[in-house]
Structure 1
Amino acid sequence: MTDVSMTSTAGMPKGSGKRHSGIELFRVRHIPDSVESRPVSQVAAEPASLNPPASRRYYFWLMAPAILVLAFISIYPFFWMIYMSLHEVDIGNVRWNDFANFTRLAGDTRFLMGWWLLIQYSAMCLFLQIAIGVFLAVALNGSRYEKVLVTTLLMPMMMAPLIAGMVWYFLYNGTFGWYHWLLQSLGILGPKSILASSNTAMIGIVLVDVWQWTPLITLITLAGLKRVPQDQLEANMVDGASPFRNFVMVTLPNLYPVLLIAIMLRFMDNFRFIDSVLVLTGGGPGNATKILPIYLFEVSFKFFKLGRGAAIALILLIVTIILGMLLVRVFDRQQPSKV
């Protein structure tokens, strides 16, 4: 801090012995830094909270109702299913049957055929959905109308599977179905509906599943494309790689974890969704589309063999969990190791 004062010659005493002309006298006063003014905070101290910090037990009691509801709708039915699978369950009568529900399935041809049809159905759905979904995602990525087109593609996925099955049932109808008329005009179909022939019924229900759930694969893949490193793509193009080679060498390896998650979600859904299949064919014609979930539904709720149905459901659940664990293990192996 500096204090500067100026004194003119008019105010000087006569006997001072020194003469000054104009403004010549300056007096400088140095103030040490120790007395410099310091900024003082005007924020008052935060008052002490009237409520003590919550304990972990408090948060547990907050979650307890949701935990009880989830336990009631999932854990209790799971153990009840295990109990029924080990008993012969009739109306008002439950008796132990020495694992007969499981041993009889080994010789049940409809049970074994249900597995085979389920594998065919899931394989065709997954192949078409992954191929079409990745193609649409690559075509839409960076497009001028990307948001509008993505919103339009998501509309089938927002439809309930039961309603989707009803819509396609009328489109496939041999009398007034528009798709049936188109396929018949192109010479692909005869007078019989696509759902009425055992040779084409499986293709019909696969097309419905592909139409409804391919947008999910497209959305997941599109999100994965946004995180592909652009510097790798540009470096590969500088080296002279074609767009197709660039896609195979750079884009696909970055999409692999995303596609694996999409495959896991879809195959688990194919193992349990039967809404559209029940509406379209009900497992027919004959047993051409009687995949295992359809057979499980008939055994449990059409013939009321609840013990046998519980055994089938338990086996289906165990196989689904094992396949899911295998996919997760493959996914973990493909992740880069952390140093």
Structure 2
Amino acid sequence: MSYADRRRLFLVFMAVPALSYVVAVGVWPIAKGIWFSLYDYSLLRPARNHFVGLGNYADVLTDPVTRRAFFNTVVFTVSAVAAELALGFAVALALWRDDRFNRICLALILIPVTITPLVVGLIFRALLMPDYGLVGYYLAEYGLSGPHGLFAYGPSALATLIFIDIWEWTPLVALILLAGLKALPGDILEAARADGATAIQRLRLVVIPLMAPTIVLAMMLRMIDAFRIFDSIYVTTGGGPGDATNSLMLHAVKQGLEFFNIGLASAIANVTLLGIAVMATVCIFLFRQADRRAHGT
């Protein structure tokens, strides 16, 4: 064998473990999920499944509970990500100057990111309980929440879950945007300052256009994560009251692990995956457009 053939064969053998891992962990479960979604498959009667084609997907589109879960997921994603981008950008601007105080503040505000969403949900559930919660008791006592707490009423429950997500993930967005701010070319900012541009003008005409790729990147990462929200909802409201805080991922888990309807659960999971893929595609397109404008190409 020639050197080029040996080198090619060596690279193939090196890639086999990684490719096997991707197939076993990523491709195979997705393929099985697509296969299950085409069948009326229930764990209560596993031997009596039959092919229904797109019947499960039709049920997803016509089921009012699924439509409500999709609406809740969209509202949660848009509201949480918009607030996190705005607050994260404000925090990044406040910490832009590189000094000891800002470095200490940055280390402290990153503490919520180190806590898993499941634990964050349990912490806020304990804090907001109207009977004994450190915060919820006083909210109910002074009439700032209902007598049964914030999680007992639909609008306040969803708003509280959005607040929990903002509290946990705004520091991560701020860290991403702060890295983008520190990577900005200093000569352009100095030139704008020398030309007499005010701080607001530099922010609007220089900083934000150059930061557009980083902003889109942070938005894409958070939208993908927020759209598949499950942990904090599961341990706080369980999707209630009623279906007021039900999400697509929580609805899929309920269908699969509580009602054992694997076919419908797989269809809901695939719809969620499709929504994430569409959002990622749009964000990648926006990222490339913003990157071209930022670099003048």
TM-score (norm 1): 0.80
Which of these residues, 198, 221, 225, is aligned with residue 265 of structure 1?
A: 221
Cα distance in 1 for residues equivalent to 2:98 and 2:182: 13
CA offset at residue 250 of structure 1? Answer: 1.0
Cα distance in 1 for residues equivalent to 2:274 and 2:296: 32
Could you say what secondary structure the match of 2:286 adopts? helix
What residue number does 2:176 align with?
A: 220
What residue number does 1:23 align with?
A: none
Cα distance in 2 for residues equivalent to 1:200 and 1:240: 47
- The residue correspondences of 1:197-212 to structure 2 (distance < 5 A) are 197-212=153-168
Tell which deviates more after alignment, 209-218 or 100-109: 100-109
Question: When the two structures are aligned, how many residues end up with a matched partner?
Answer: 287
Matched AA of 1:140 = L
Structure with more helix by fraction: 2
What residue number does 2:77 align with?
A: 122
Could you say what secondary structure the match of 2:155 adopts? coil
Q: Does 1:311 align with 2:267?
A: yes
Could you say what secondary structure the match of 1:200 adopts? helix
Q: Deviations over 1:304-336 (max 9, x none)?
A: 110011111112211211221111112212233
Q: Does 1:131 align with 2:83?
A: no
Q: Does 1:156 align with 2:108?
A: no
Which of these residues, 56, 59, 63, is aligned with residue 11 of structure 2?
A: 59
- The residue correspondences of 1:78-227 to structure 2 (distance < 5 A) are 78-91=30-43, 92-93=46-47, 94-144=49-99, 145-184=101-140, 187-227=143-183
CA offset at residue 124 of structure 1? Answer: 1.0
Structure 1 segments of 4+ aligned residues over 6 angstroms from their partners: none
Matched AA of 1:95 = H
Cα distance in 2 for residues equivalent to 1:329 and 1:69: 28
Matched AA of 1:165 = G
CA offset at residue 182 of structure 1? Answer: 4.7
Q: Deviations over 1:157-209 (max 9, x none)?
A: 11111111111110111112122245446653243311111220011111111
CA offset at residue 54 of structure 1? Answer: 6.5
CA offset at residue 242 of structure 1? Answer: 2.1
Could you say what secondary structure the match of 1:127 adopts? helix
Which of these residues, 23, 28, 31, is aligned with residue 76 of structure 1?
A: 28
Q: Is the 8 A contact 2:130 2:140 kept in 1?
A: no
Matched AA of 2:196 = G
What residue number does 1:26 align with?
A: none
Tell which deviates more after alignment, 58-67 or 287-296: 58-67
Which of these residues, 208, 221, 242, is aligned with residue 252 of structure 1?
A: 208
1 or 2 for the larger relative contact order (CA 8 Å, sep ≥6)? 2
Cα distance in 2 for residues equivalent to 1:184 and 1:87: 48
TM-score (norm 2): 0.90
Cα 1:190–1:108 change in 2 (3 A) is closer
Q: Deviations over 1:91-129 (max 9, x none)?
A: 332311232112222221111111111111011101110
Q: For the pair shown, which has the larger CA radius of gyration, 1 or 2?
A: 1
Matched AA of 1:132 = L
Structure with more strand by fraction: 1
Q: Give unpaired runs (5+ residues) of structure 2.
A: none
Q: Give unpaired runs (5+ residues) of structure 1.
A: 1-52
C-alpha RMSD of matched pairs (Å): 1.9
Q: Is the 8 A contact 2:212 2:291 kept in 1?
A: no
Which of these residues, 186, 206, 229, is aligned with residue 185 of structure 2?
A: 229
Cα distance in 2 for residues equivalent to 1:293 and 1:154: 27
Matched AA of 2:27 = I
Cα 1:80–1:136 change in 2 (3 A) is same
Could you say what secondary structure the match of 2:135 adopts? helix
Cα 1:136–1:80 change in 2 (3 A) is same
Q: Is the 8 A contact 2:229 2:247 kept in 1?
A: no
CA offset at residue 338 of structure 1? Answer: 7.3
